[in-house]
Structure 1
Amino acid sequence: MKQLITISQLIITAFLLNSCASSTTKVAPSQNSALNSISKSNAAIEKEGAMQKSLDSWLHDDWEPTIAKDKEIQKKYMKEEKGIESNTSATKTQESHFVDKEDKNFTLQEYVDKAAAYMRAKPNDYNSSNVHKLESMPVIGK
């Protein structure tokens, strides 16, 4: 009986040590672009998730246009780009828009300023907030 227990412990220990020692590294995609264009079997396939798509569309459609309209943000963090000239009946006008400066580093203060500008432009009321919706649920709220 003692031999059976000793042998089973030895087998379990050997199995665990063997499984821990095995290499399970991921194969990196080839640096050869011609090979990757023919066979993508070893290339890392990365799909964008629904939350990432939603966030990207919100940033592009809502956040950036709202921030670009704020005068303080324009003055502090953006530069003006001249756009396409439009010829109306007798006058020529140049449309301009503001874009982020490329040569600046991101700071936390910049994010705080932009968030404050967004909140000024789109105030949130209590009745449409998620807090109100959760509190009105019978199980979670009051």
Structure 2
Amino acid sequence: MQKSLDSWLKEEWTPQTSVKTSTASDGTVTTTKIESDKVVTTKTAPNGTVVITTAPVVQEPEDTTPFTLQKYVDKWKTYQENQAKMKEGQPKEPSEIDKVNSLPVIGK
């Protein structure tokens, strides 16, 4: 399977390019094209001036830390502490019993 994947990558696969276009309030059109090894940004001003910049794609460093459950336990604890702080000023969500009691009564 690995050999067939390698041959497909070499012979048939072409990297996908991503193109994003945005227009600023002053009429400047910015087009960003992401290729496999570089990012090309084209800015076209309303008067016709074109500026093209090219930058290499920066790869994120690979995470080589070993898998430990303690890491996820610590994340869960931090999330629970922050969740309590985020909900501190908000009104309490109604319970399931309150929701059922608020439904209209049928047949009475």
Shared fold, TM over 0.5? no
In terms of fraction of residues, the more strand-rich structure is 2
TM-score between both structures, scaled by the size of structure 1? 0.23
In terms of fraction of residues, the more helix-rich structure is 1
TM-score between both structures, scaled by the size of structure 2? 0.28
